[in-house]
Amino acid sequence: MGAICSRLKVRVRTKYHTLRTESPGDHTDGQGNGFLSSLQEKPVEPWSEAGERCYNDEEEPCTSKTELALREQAQAESSFDNIATQIKNMNKPLEILRSSITNSLLLFRMALGLTQAATMLSCFEILKEATNNLELINTSDGPRKLTIENGSSWEELPDNIQAAIKHFNSLVSLCHKFLGSRELKMADISLKLEDLQLLPLTKEKEKERQELQDIPIQIDKFTEDISNLFETISAAGKILEYVPNITL
């Protein structure tokens, strides 16, 4: 029996356990066939009894399930950080526009000597008092600019009225720019947010993901604010329209 065992070679590999005979003809089944010759390589689960993930020696040493889970979590967080940075970069131009729009609206009111809470109608009443030659240009997309009509001289306007008109025209221009950029940015951001849904995250990263998911909501809210502002401007701007005196 010892002689038989001494002639068997057992080769153990990292991913597979294989039994081989040194010479198939030495141990026959009565028909000249080696009784071990029919054994094939059989793959085994690549986990050791100690709960370690095994790789070929050329790849890397055995890794525990816990270590592998931590590695996969780190990879997921790295992917999350990369996508989150892309989303923030996409939203950054819109954030800058939002800030510029808010600032221009404030400067417009301040140039007229009004507070931030002043109504748009109050603003246009002051413009009307300063000159009868102002016109509000409107298009199907909303108000576009304030302009001097009938060839009147810009230099004749008071300095604060000139400043107010400049801030107003900057305001509506920025609003239209925001609306033009919004659709494309929203599409790109939405795609990236879908990618985030596929990643397993920690509670901390989950909270950050929720903050990123609020970005489209904030963009939609500001878009609605612009729409309301345009309606208010168009209504208030009617005070600038020329109404001839009618005498009976």
Query: Under 8 Å CB-to-CB from 94, ≥6 apart: which residues?
Result: 178, 181, 182, 185, 219
Q: Would you mind telling me the total number of residues written for the chain in this entry? A: 248
Q: In the prediction, which pLDDT does 84 show?
A: 92
Say how far apart CA 15 and CA 123 lie, in whole Å.
Answer: 79
Q: Is residue 88 within 8 Å of residue 209, measured between CB atoms?
A: no
Q: What is the pLDDT of residues 67-82, one digit of tens each?
A: 776 777 778 788 888 9
Position with higher pLDDT, 66 vs 93: 93
Average pLDDT over residues 216-222: 96
Average pLDDT over residues 92-118: 96
Of the listed ranges 26-30, 73-77, 209-213, the one predicted with least confidence: 26-30
Band the pLDDT of 223: cuts 50, 70, 90.
very high
Task: Write the DSSP symbol of residue 138.
Answer: E
Domain range list for the chain? 65-240
> How confident is the prediction for the chain on average, in pLDDT?
79
C-alpha distances (whole Å) from 49 to each of 45, 46, 52, 64, 238 are 10, 10, 7, 11, 83
pLDDT higher than threshold 60 for residue 206: yes
**Tokens encoding 82:** 């990369």
Position with higher pLDDT, 74 vs 62: 74
Place of tokens 């071990």: 36
Q: In the prediction, which pLDDT does 63 show?
A: 59
Q: How many CB atoms lie within 10 A of CB 219?
A: 20
Band the pLDDT of 136: cuts 50, 70, 90.
very high
User: What stretch of H or E contains 83?
Assistant: helix 65-111
**Single-letter amino acid code for the residue at 230:** F
Q: In the prediction, which pLDDT does 19 show?
A: 44
Q: In the prediction, which pLDDT does 7 show?
A: 44
**Tokens encoding 163:** 């400043």
